[in-house]
């Protein structure tokens, strides 16, 4: 199980549709979900926002842990989470912040840039499309294959 710790505003400011959103907090969660950016549902997702808590966001969110930094910085929260979580090699911190990346690497966690985090999903979609495209065959060819298989099966049954 991977643990994604997302530097929320760092990601929001790098994605045009999130940056212009009236509700960036909720839009970020929807964006991550709709693009399946964290892979398997068994992976843990911790989203860390700078600033004060939005109680309505906590009430709506069940599958992701949402943390607000309040009086300290999101970076401090992220570093503390990395420090205390087990299996450091399975922790992926999503941020372009170089000082944060250096700090979490000292604990054995990995950093993934915003571009790589988003690109990972796009490349997965492209490879899935290619796989499906490779399997598209004409109706005529389907019938020929079916007939050929029928001959093989019936021959073996005799």
Give the C-alpha distances (Å, rounded to integers) separating 148 from 74, 92, 151. 63, 50, 5
pTM: 0.73
Beta-carbon contacts of 87 under 8 Å, excluding residues fewer than 6 positions away, are: 3
- The band of 157, judged by pLDDT with boundaries at 50, 70 and 90, is low
Query: What is the pLDDT at residue 130?
Result: 47
Task: Convert the pLDDT of each residue in 79-122 to its tens digit.
Answer: 999 999 999 999 999 999 999 999 999 999 999 999 999 986 55
Which of 60, 56, 34, 32 has the alpha carbon at shortest distance from 45? 32
- Tokens at 131, concatenated: 């796989």
Query: What is the pLDDT at residue 120?
Result: 64
Query: What is the pLDDT at residue 86?
Result: 95
Least confident window among 20-24, 93-97, 103-107, 134-138:
134-138
Which of 117, 103, 104 has the alpha carbon at shortest distance from 12? 117
- Mean pLDDT in the chain? 83
- 45, β-bridge pairs: 4
CA 106 to chain centre: 23
Q: Of 54 and 68, which is predicted with more confidence?
A: 68
CA 108 to chain centre: 20
Q: What percent of the chain has pLDDT over 90?
A: 49
Q: Of 138 and 90, which is predicted with more confidence?
A: 90
Average pLDDT over residues 21-36: 89
CATH class of the region 3-124: alpha beta
Residue 62 CB neighbours (<10 A) = 7
């Amino acid at each position: 199980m991977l643990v994604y710790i997302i530097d929320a505003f760092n990601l929001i400011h790098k994605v045009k549709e999130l940056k212009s959103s009236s509700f960036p907090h909720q839009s970020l969660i929807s964006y991550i979900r709709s693009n399946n950016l964290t892979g398997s549902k068994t992976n843990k997702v911790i989203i860390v926002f700078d600033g004060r808590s939005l109680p309505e966001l906590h009430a709506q969110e069940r599958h992701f842990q949402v943390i607000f930094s309040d009086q300290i910085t999101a970076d401090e929260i992220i570093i503390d989470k990395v420090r205390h979580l087990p299996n450091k090699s399975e922790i992926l911190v999503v941020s372009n912040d170089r000082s944060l990346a250096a700090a979490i690497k000292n604990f054995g966690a990995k950093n993934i840039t915003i571009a790589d985090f988003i690109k990972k999903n796009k490349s997965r979609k492209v490879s899935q499309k290619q796989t499906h495209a490779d399997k598209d065959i004409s109706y005529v060819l389907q019938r020929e294959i079916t007939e050929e298989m029928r001959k093989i099966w019936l021959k073996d049954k005799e």
